[in-house]
Structure 1
Amino acid sequence: MSGLTSLGVVHTAISLAAVAAGITALAQRRHILDGTPAGQVYLWSTVLTCLTGFGIFQHGGFGKPHALGILTLLVLGLAWGAGHSALFGRAGAAVSSVAYSLTLFFHAIPGMTETSTRLPVHAPLASGPDDPNLQAAVAMAFVLFLVGATLQVRDLRRRAVPARGMERTA
């Protein structure tokens, strides 16, 4: 599979499951809620994606992908904590929703990078992570995240969901 190690194949499969679960969760409820089946799959497959990613050293040693994995785990912890405590008060639901969505954006960065630098096999779309076209695509994904996060916060304000009850909303 285009130069992937066995761990890389497992890592990729888990990350694809995470992305599919995240998109499913957003399609079903407009938010990734860790109290739903899709949200649970998203949460735990994202954790596993990060953990398996720490064992991949294609470019020498600890690098930007590993730092992104650590950041993703920290943001997942923030998202879970915001949705399950009163730490952020009424803003907890919004913090949780936006943080989970941010981790889905984080999936897009290595996903777009690895795909565009490997495919098509004999003529990849991007020359590397610093390719201007790839960076433009990541920037567009970030704008999409910002639009989605704005819509999520507006949706929560409209429904006035309390921070601790978010996981039970319809």
Structure 2
Amino acid sequence: MPEITLLGWIHTVIAIVVLLAGFYTLAVHKVITPTQIIGQVYPVCTTIAAVTALMIYKDEGFGTAHFLAILTLLALVAGFLVTKITARSAMADYFRDFRFSSTLLFHMIPAFTDGLLRRPVLTNAEDPLLK
């Protein structure tokens, strides 16, 4: 089982908060939006989790988790920027909420993979079971 560094623990704890907040707000409100209190916590913790993910490197260097962290940050930025457009349409809120909600998927892919790698289920990221 791979060792977890202090940064890895910080990232893991923040990512768990993100997942819990994301699933909670989806279950209760059906969408992740900053109009709710939990929806305001979610993008902050998501940003922290994505930035710390970019600082964690294993043997292979830049990997899929880093790419997903960049996608997460881009989705958050796009969600915030679309609401700042002056000629804003009704679709801007839907686009923002879709971008925020899609970041939960970007979190789940590496969380699921890393969780299986830390159990004796998988031996490496190229395992046929994962693919």
TM-score (normalizing by structure 2): 0.88
Instruction: Extract unaligned runs of 5+ from structure 1.
Output: 136-170
- Normalized per residue, the structure richer in helix is 1
In the alignment, what sits opposite 1:166? none
SS in 2 for 1:89: coil
Matches within 5 A, 1:86-125: 89-119=89-119, 124-125=120-121
Runs of at least 4 residues off by over 4 Å: none
Deviation for aligned residue 1:2: 5.2
Identity of aligned residues (%): 33
> Structure 1 CA distance, aligned partners of 2:62 and 2:25?
32
Matches within 5 A, 1:56-67: 56-67=56-67
Alignment match of 2:127 (pick from 124, 128, 131): 131
Count, aligned residues: 131
In the alignment, what sits opposite 1:24? 24
In the alignment, what sits opposite 1:80? 80
> Structure 2 CA distance, aligned partners of 1:33 and 1:4?
32
Residue 11 (structure 1) aligned with residue 7 (structure 2): no
Q: Could you tell me whether the CA contact under 8 Å between 1:113 and 1:128 is conserved in 2?
A: no
> Structure 2 CA distance, aligned partners of 1:44 and 1:19?
13
User: For residues 87-136 of structure 1, what are the alpha-carbon distances to aligned partners after superposition, in whole Å with 9 as ceiling and x for unaligned?
Assistant: 662222221222112110000011001000111xxxx222322333323x
SS in 1 for 2:61: coil
Instruction: Extract unaligned runs of 5+ from structure 2.
Output: none
TM-score (normalizing by structure 1): 0.69
CA 1:103–1:83 in 2, change beyond 3 Å: closer, same or farther?
A: same
RMSD: 2.0
